[in-house]
Chain A
């Protein structure tokens, strides 16, 4: 049984002019325990909406979402909220640390909503988690005194402190330079694999996406499996793209794109645009 299972999920919203905007269309996705899945796509393609649905912050318009085999639609709001706090850890692009609170207090915050031992031992657990992400000596430091990478480490510690089953990372390296982003992803991968938590990363950075065991591309609300091979088949410093919409047409990114190993956010966005164009052409041909 999969940990998360989306079947033909759609998400639509009504615009002020009464037109319907279809953000997600027939999304089917399964995530197993301990798996690392990445979703790439351009801005505005519905990546965050997908993540919000996975994290129970939003609900599908149609389709089914099973969490450990339990249809989410059958859960009450309260039960959904409780499962969100217990089973999911969120890592945001802008870190979203609570202002005015130290690193330790930020990591303690989710434990205020836990029960029993986790609640009463919250400071110790938070301190241990911060030590684990390498910030054991910065417990009482305010977020604004920390570097971007350190702030994201605090955010990761906060996401993991309740021992979630799934870590949902929305552009976790989006606000970091490439080197720091790489370090943060190393940490995220390492801790996720140590804790056995599934990791769903949303990014437009292909280098980040390539770290995942499975990759998907989201374009115009449609989720398509792709394959970014990080180690074996790079063109220059760019990972090989294997996209499959219907016939799994395999293509290699054009050489000489000028993309280096330091795939920053903007470069990633450019690359995403290239990907979209390429895949759209594939689709047209198909």
Chain B
């Protein structure tokens, strides 16, 4: 016990006394640990930013897209697809799902009536696709039963209304022959700079108030793909379901089988938005480890160099300590421990630097978008960095420690 504590005290004293030397030796190690930890954290953030971008476009991992489509010109849909979808969700205990439908609806803007692209979704769409309004809110339970439709629009829509915010509770008339006044409750960021006005509406409200051809009609009933003027407006039943990554493949097959059985003559396609693998994350992780490892190697070499010079400078002191009863093991351990203690301290400094940088990074400027679910600071990366620093310290300490042990006591005292 006293041996270990004594060696630690001795090592700390050495570091305290030779502050400048230690500082010089450890700048490299601290930078290396900061690089390992910081790059790992940055990679984690980059990965999250990329994932969130992907999620916004294609849904979270793993989202299954269930599409029902006609297999011939005479295909007739007589099935209540809403009921089929509801059964599927209930059967497989799927928590998040959203029916989807796309249509064009006439909308009265101050500069005239325009055809507005409307996407009908359920409330869960926002969860599945990480949809967060920049103003206002997403759809709530009350909106489902509201007596007029509510809309979540993009910024281009708001601009077309001649508005910049929702403070005036804007409304807009939607539909052709029997228009309905819809209230804008939320605004989403434009997908791209020159985006056209678009709006989200709740699936049930689309059918209740607007209809898939711009006129009110019963929800979930798509009668025929060849029904005159409505054809161009018409889309086919589809649904997004967010399922656990491990069960995606199995659920995909099961849902495809179950839905197909209910719509004979129609095709059913269930496709995942990914397999849950993370090739970019893996690649960037290895890049991070490579950069950090190389920096650590350079830092370690600097440390060995300075430690060797220092041991030669301290030969007499080592001899004196041997006269006090320091065993060769203790001298070896002591010199090595100096290096280890130094690198551990440097590692801590490196981690602090990495934390400071990561916490103050301008995320939107660096990653191109905000990160909704900021990944926690990678403690594992900090621990790996610390472990690497300690290992480098031990390795860098072995050479000078060996030199120190091989010093002849008598010669050392006279050195």
Asked whether any CB of chain A lies closer than 8 Å to the CB of B108, the reply is no
Asked whether any CB of chain B lies closer than 8 Å to the CB of A213, the reply is no
Partner of B325, one of A99, A110, A120: A110
Asked whether any CB of chain A lies closer than 8 Å to the CB of B316, the reply is yes
Q: Within A70-111, which residues are at the interface with B (CB < 8 Å)?
A: 77-78, 81-86, 88, 90, 92, 96, 98-101, 105, 109-110
Q: Is the interface of A mostly helix, strand, loop or mixed?
A: helix
For the complex, what is the distance from the CA of A105 to the CA of B16, rounded to whole Å? 12
Q: Does B326 contact A119, Cβ atoms closer than 8 Å?
A: no
Q: Does A81 contact B326, Cβ atoms closer than 8 Å?
A: yes
Contacts of A115 in B (CB 8 A): 2-3
Most B CB within 10 A of own CB, among A52, A99, A113: A113
Contacts of A110 in B (CB 8 A): 324-325
For the complex, what is the distance from the CA of A82 to the CA of B327, rounded to whole Å? 7
For the complex, what is the distance from the CA of A112 to the CA of B2, rounded to whole Å? 8
Given contacts A84-B323, A90-B323, A99-B317, are A113 and B13 in contact (CB under 8 A)? no
How near does chain B come to A51, taking the closest CB pair, in angstroms? 10
B interface, CB within 8 angstroms of A: 2-3, 5-6, 9-10, 13, 17-18, 316-317, 320-330, 409-410, 413
Q: Does A101 contact B13, Cβ atoms closer than 8 Å?
A: yes
For the complex, what is the distance from the CA of A282 to the CA of B9, rounded to whole Å? 56
In the complex, residue of chain A having the shortest beta-carbon distance to the beta carbon of B17 = A100
In the complex, residue of chain B having the shortest beta-carbon distance to the beta carbon of A85 = B325
Q: Compute the total of residue contacts between A and B using a CB distance below 8 Å.
A: 65
Given contacts A112-B10, A119-B6, are A57 and B320 in contact (CB under 8 A)? no
For the complex, what is the distance from the CA of A57 to the CA of B413, rounded to whole Å? 10
Q: Does A82 contact B410, Cβ atoms closer than 8 Å?
A: no
How near does chain B come to A119, taking the closest CB pair, in angstroms? 4
Contacts of A96 in B (CB 8 A): 316, 320, 413
Given contacts A52-B410, A96-B316, A99-B317, are A112 and B327 in contact (CB under 8 A)? no
Given contacts A81-B327, A92-B413, A119-B6, are A109 and B321 in contact (CB under 8 A)? yes
For the complex, what is the distance from the CA of A98 to the CA of B316, rounded to whole Å? 9
Contacts of B18 in A (CB 8 A): 100
Asked whether any CB of chain B lies closer than 8 Å to the CB of A58, the reply is yes
Q: Does A113 contact B17, Cβ atoms closer than 8 Å?
A: no
20 pairs, CB–CB < 8 Å, chain A vs chain B: A48-B410, A57-B323, A58-B410, A78-B327, A78-B329, A81-B326, A82-B327, A84-B323, A99-B317, A110-B324, A110-B325, A112-B6, A112-B324, A113-B6, A113-B330, A114-B2, A116-B2, A119-B5, A119-B6, A120-B2
Contacts of B326 in A (CB 8 A): 81, 85, 113
For the complex, what is the distance from the CA of A18 to the CA of B269, rounded to whole Å? 93
Q: Does B324 contact A113, Cβ atoms closer than 8 Å?
A: yes
Q: Does A82 contact B13, Cβ atoms closer than 8 Å?
A: no
How near does chain A come to B337, taking the closest CB pair, in angstroms? 12
For the complex, what is the distance from the CA of A114 to the CA of B1, rounded to whole Å? 11
Given contacts A100-B18, A119-B2, A119-B6, are A77 and B328 in contact (CB under 8 A)? yes
Asked whether any CB of chain B lies closer than 8 Å to the CB of A264, the reply is no
For the complex, what is the distance from the CA of A85 to the CA of B2, rounded to whole Å? 15
In the complex, residue of chain B having the shortest beta-carbon distance to the beta carbon of A155 = B320
Q: Does B13 contact A81, Cβ atoms closer than 8 Å?
A: no
For the complex, what is the distance from the CA of A22 to the CA of B325, rounded to whole Å? 28
In the complex, residue of chain B having the shortest beta-carbon distance to the beta carbon of A83 = B325
Asked whether any CB of chain B lies closer than 8 Å to the CB of A55, the reply is yes
How near does chain A come to B11, taking the closest CB pair, in angstroms? 11
For the complex, what is the distance from the CA of A109 to the CA of B330, rounded to whole Å? 13
Partner of B323, one of A55, A82, A116, A120: A55
Contacts of B329 in A (CB 8 A): 78
Contacts of B324 in A (CB 8 A): 85, 109-110, 112-113
Given contacts A98-B320, A100-B18, A109-B321, are A57 and B2 in contact (CB under 8 A)? no
Contacts of B323 in A (CB 8 A): 55, 57, 84, 88, 90
Contacts of A113 in B (CB 8 A): 6, 321, 324-326, 330
Q: Does B325 contact A82, Cβ atoms closer than 8 Å?
A: yes
Given contacts A57-B409, A112-B10, A115-B2, are A81 and B322 in contact (CB under 8 A)? yes
How near does chain A come to B39, taking the closest CB pair, in angstroms? 37
For the complex, what is the distance from the CA of A98 to the CA of B326, rounded to whole Å? 14
For the complex, what is the distance from the CA of A115 to the CA of B327, rounded to whole Å? 14
Most B CB within 10 A of own CB, among A48, A58, A85, A114: A85
Contacts of B5 in A (CB 8 A): 119
Contacts of A119 in B (CB 8 A): 2, 5-6
Contacts of A81 in B (CB 8 A): 322, 325-328
Contacts of B322 in A (CB 8 A): 57, 81
Contacts of A52 in B (CB 8 A): 410
List of 4 A-B pairs having minimum Cβ-Cβ separation, nearest first: A85-B325, A110-B324, A100-B17, A119-B2
Contacts of A83 in B (CB 8 A): 325
Contacts of A55 in B (CB 8 A): 323
How near does chain B come to A197, taking the closest CB pair, in angstroms? 16
Other 15 A-B pairs with CB < 8 A, given A77-B327, A85-B325: A57-B409, A58-B409, A81-B325, A82-B325, A84-B325, A86-B325, A96-B316, A96-B413, A98-B320, A100-B18, A109-B321, A113-B324, A113-B325, A114-B2, A114-B325
